[in-house]
Structure 1
Amino acid sequence: MQLDEATLRIVAILFSLLIGGLLLFSWNSNRVNRELLVLGSSFGSAAVGIVLIGIASLGQSVIYLYTGVTLLFFAYGGGWQTMRIFERRPVKPWLAGLGGIFWLALSLIDPEHGPLITALAVAVVPASYTALMGFELWRGRGEYLPSRFALCMVVGLDSVLLVMRGVFIMIAASEAHRWTETQLTMTLSLLIVLVNVAVGYLMLSLIKERLETEQRAQTLIDPLTGLGNRRALHLHAERILRRQATSGQSVCVAIIDLDHFKKINDTFGHFMGDSVLRTFAERATLKLRPVDYLFRVGGEEFLCILQAAEERDAVGVMERIRRSMKSYRIGEGTEARGVTLSAGIASSRRVGYDLEDLTRAADAALYKAKRDGRNRVCVYTGDDTRLAADVEGRAWAEPRPQAGPLSGPQLT
């Protein structure tokens, strides 16, 4: 089967318009993902560029050729910026058009070698932009998305095909002293068109996968505090406890309750109550160790899993949190008051690694803390509970603050 330039251009235009239209339609349905707008516009730019190049091949003004090739290069630059938007990196629109502007300047300065310059640009500019697309995707590989690596491979293949096509066009142009398409270069062009269709399809898949991942994550996060919720606790606790049991390390569970929280809501209003909960989440997270998990399991009740922690370690962490909250003041004037908390701790050394048993024991210790006057930490000892002051070695060092208020192990 013999390919001709006219048929190839028609196929390229139709596929570019089809994929570009699909991307723009997807963006218009939910105008959040700007990468769909940019990539769809890039496919549209490529279609217009191919039309203008076709017009120039019919003997029309060279302006059509200059404009068409520039738009084609701009389309590849737009693909690179699309990946930067997707990876949430700063966008640099002027770089998207730099390749086309550079080629245009060289062609105008040295029109005698125009075909060779065009062939060289066709070999270098699109392949460079495509390689940068792959580079941006590879840099973001820390965020696992199934289609990411498939798109990396497709983009890499696109870059290789573009280089091969450009090299063969350069060879033909140097021999004929004009732009010449051969069956080989047209076959490579057809493959490039098909690969670009795959790029558009995989980009849609990539955005969909990220959206689904973020939606799943949102179902595990308490929207007020940003902590894991009860669902996240049950999803991750079994895995955490099993890992600790396998390693033979002690793990502690602490249940924390903000004292007189209903009175805070009644006195200062629910807005202040929400502020207290957010402040607790921020301060508590800063006092936790990097291996600890904190969940909001009720209105003013929180559960903390402390990995590789003996009772004294857990008491130290809870005491740091308690002192931090005690220094936090709400209200003004005579109504100003601090916020206190009570905490109960249970260790796997005493009750085993079952979450229900640990929670029940920690709850008993919390009840003891409240019964004894609140604003304290109690440890479950089996037959009875005792105050944190009775646990030996209270010289607990303050941990170095983490990078962010809610940093620590990820609930994924």
Structure 2
Amino acid sequence: MSVDTEKDPVVSTLLHVPSLLIAAAVTGACVSASHLLTWRAVRNEVSVLLWGIAYGLTTLSMVMAGLRGAIPAFLSVVVSNTFLLLALGLVWLGYRRFLGKVGRHDLLLAALGGLAWLAFACDRQLFADINLRVHVVSAIQFIYLLMVASDLVAHQRKEPLPALSLTTAAIVVQQALLLARVIYLLISPLNSSTAVLPTGTPIALTLIGSTGFIVFFGVLQLALVGQRSERRYRMAAETDGLTGLANRRRFLDDVLSHLAGAPNRGALILFDLDHFKRINDTHGHLTGDRALVEFAGILANATPDRAVAARIGGEEFALFLPDGDATTATVLAEHIRQLTRAFALKTVKDQLRITVSVGVADIAEVGPDYEALHSAADVALYKAKSDGRDRVAVYRWCPPRRQIAVACDDRVGKAVSAAV
């Protein structure tokens, strides 16, 4: 927002610019206070502090602009707009910090808008043109807002917070207002000799839009902080603390949701690290934890899109393929088994080789029931273990009596009977 405008006596009583500037200043002060108070509760979010300072600078800018004519023009025009552009730079910097983007020259870029304005003010001939002043301030504002919007759009997929898209939409609206003001001034330029603190309709409406923008932007910023906290709490409740994979609860929710919507397709793979108890007993629990973490990394990197990988207990992991069948699941399971076998975990004394046994079950074989699907995959996993470990076994349906007859023990027989 630039503080230069043109007087319009028809609407001056309704759109009184000094009053609008004071209203904007009060609004900025309230938003600044809310951000600074919020920052005291969430000190880890430096972005909130930067935004609070930015709104404080905006408040000072509005106050100085409102005193145009009562204080030196250097303060009401030069310093006022410098504070405004520095505030926008801090807003951009705050979003950079919030999104986890850190650049070597971020501080310089945040201050560059204000510095560019000061450099422009040094040229008295150019600075004397009120229309050019408005265009320069509008251009710098537009660039900062564009930088914020581009960062938000790029981050949306990584962290899908609802307030991100709303913030982007608000920026687009504000940019449209800036463009409309520039176009209007190109059509109807201001008179530099008479403009002191005018009350023209376009500038007054821009002030109203800017005040609304301050409020809406401030609310969205606090909403972003709240949504991120809520998302992190939810992820913590659904994530295995050691491996970073989904936990059993999250895994079951995702699989059951798939079975409710598309019950005729999908495959389940169960993984069990071989001789894990021996690893713990021989090398210690820390080494055992490292083995779990390393395998989880292998599993996560091999997990296709839309698939769900989880640690469902102890040394047991699961992978559900919503679009898979026995063939694709077996190929993937074998790939993961080979990657695991090729990995060597460094210990104090030597290198530890890790192997994994794998069981595969297809919904086409056992039907769209999770308990039956899990039991079938568990039967296949037991078969892989009993056949010597470090292999993949696939569940195939056959009549219950025959299945029980070839089972290694009663537990497998009962599981197969339940599955069929």
% identity of equivalent residues: 28
1:181 partner SS: coil
1:268 to 276, 283, 291: 283
1:149 equivalent in structure 2? 165
Unaligned runs of 5+ in 2: 1-12, 408-420
1:257 Cα deviation (Å)?
1.3
Change (3 A) 1:266 1:327: same
Aligned to 1:130: 145
Cα distance, 1:236 vs structure 2: 0.7
Which residue does 1:43 correspond to in 2?
55
**Aligned counterparts of 1:111 and 1:140: Cα–Cα separation in 2:** 43
Q: CA deviation at 1:303?
A: 1.6
**Structure 2 counterpart of 1:252:** 267
Aligned to 2:36: 24
Question: 1: CA distance between counterparts of 2:347 and 2:224?
Answer: 51
8 Å Cα contact 2:270/2:318 also seen in 1: yes
1:361-399 Cα offsets, whole Å, 9 max, x none, are 121222233333333332223343999xxxxxxxxxxxx
Q: 1:304 and 1:2, CA in 2 relative to 1: closer, same or farther beyond 3 A? A: closer
Q: Which residue of 1 aligns with 2:88?
A: 76
Against the structure 1 CA distance between its residues 112 and 374, is the aligned structure 2 distance closer, same or farther, given a 3 Å change threshold?
Answer: closer
Partners of 1:342 and 1:311 lie apart in 2 by 16
Go from structure 1 to structure 2 and tell me whether the alpha carbon gap of 1:349 and 1:114 turns closer, same or farther (over 3 Å shift). Answer: same
Offset of residue 25 of structure 1: 1.3
Q: Secondary structure at the match of 2:314?
A: coil
Distance in 2, matches of 1:177 and 1:166, equals: 19
Secondary structure at the counterpart of residue 225 of structure 2:
helix
Alignment match of 1:207 (pick from 225, 241, 244): 225
- How many Å separate the matches in 1 of 2:19 and 2:66? 11
The reply to whether residue 33 of structure 1 matches residue 50 of structure 2 is: no
**Cα shift at 1:220:** 1.8
Secondary structure of the residue aligned to 1:227 is: coil
Rounded Cα–Cα distance in structure 2 between residues aligned with 1:336 and 1:51:
69
1:220 aligns to 2:234 (yes or no): no
In structure 1, what residue type is equivalent to 2:199? T
Give, in whole Å, the separation in 2 of the partners of 1:59 and 1:315: 79
CA distance in structure 2 between the partners assigned to 1:321 and 1:138 by the alignment: 34
Instruction: Give the AA of the match of 1:80.
Output: W
Q: Partners in 2 of 1:93 and 1:114 — Cα distance?
A: 30
| 2:110 counterpart residue number | 96
User: Structure 1 residues 180, 163: closer, same or farther in 2, change over 3 A?
Assistant: farther
Deviations 1:165-195 (A, max 9, x none): 5666785633635444124223431332132
* Stretch of structure 1 that moved more, 16-25 or 70-79: 70-79
Q: Quick check: 1:362 aligned with 2:377?
A: yes
**Take 1:44 and 1:186, find their aligned partners in 2: how far apart are those partners?**
22
- Residue identity in the other structure for 2:212: L
Q: Which residue in 1 is equivalent to 2:191? A: 174
Deviations 1:249-269 (A, max 9, x none): 4x3322221122112111111
1:308, distance to aligned residue in structure 2 (A):
4.2
Residues 1:6 and 1:363: Cα distance change in structure 2 (over 3 Å): same
Moved more, 73-82 or 3-12: 3-12
- Compared CA separation, residues 176 and 227, structure 1 to 2 (3 A): same
Q: What is aligned with 2:403?
A: 384
The answer on whether the counterparts of 2:39 and 2:45 sit within 8 Å (CA) in structure 1 is yes
Structure 1: tracts of 5 or more residues without a match? 388-412
Match of 1:406 in 2: none
Look up the match of 1:398: none
Q: Is contact 1:158-1:196 (8 Å) kept?
A: no
| 2:336 corresponding residue in structure 1 | 321
The normalised TM-score by structure 1 is 0.81
Report the TM-score, using the length of structure 2 for normalisation: 0.80
Selected match of 1:239 from 250, 253, 257: 257
3-state SS of paired residue (2:242) = coil
Find the aligned partners of 1:139 and 1:340 in 2 and give their Cα distance: 39
SS for the counterpart of 1:70 is helix
Q: Once the 2 structures are TM-superposed, how far is the Cα of residue 5 of structure 1 from its aligned partner? A: 4.5
Q: Quick check: 1:225–1:281 contact (8 Å CA) kept in 2? A: yes
Change (3 A) 1:384 1:313: farther
CA deviations 1:131-179 (Å, max 9, x no partner) are 4433433443434333333323332332333444566678563363544
**Aligned partners of 1:340, 1:122: CA distance in 2, in Å?**
64
Q: Determine if the alignment matches structure 1 residue 188 to structure 2 residue 202.
A: no
Deviations 1:97-122 (A, max 9, x none): 32332232222222575252433334
* Cα pair distance change 1:359/1:41, threshold 3 Å: same
Q: What is the CA distance between 1:64 and its match in structure 2?
A: 5.6
For residues 330 and 141 of structure 1, the distance between their equivalents in structure 2, rounded to whole angstroms, comes to 36
State how far apart, in whole Å, the 2-side matches of 1:215 and 1:362 are. Answer: 32
| Residues 267 and 325 in structure 2, CA contact (< 8 A), matched pair in contact too | yes
Instruction: In structure 1, give the amino acid aligned to 2:78.
Output: Y
Deviates further, 340-349 or 129-138: 129-138
Deviation (angstroms), 1:38: 1.5
Between Structure 1 and Structure 2, how many residues are aligned?
384
Amino acid at match of 2:193: A
State whether structure 2 residue 22 is matched by structure 1 residue 7.
no
Alignment CA distance shift 1:8-1:166 (3 Å): farther
Alpha-carbon RMSD: 3.1
Find out whether 1:161 has 2:177 as its counterpart.
Answer: yes
Tell me the CA shift for residue 325 of structure 1.
Answer: 2.5
| Structure 2 residue 73 is the aligned partner of structure 1 residue 58 | no
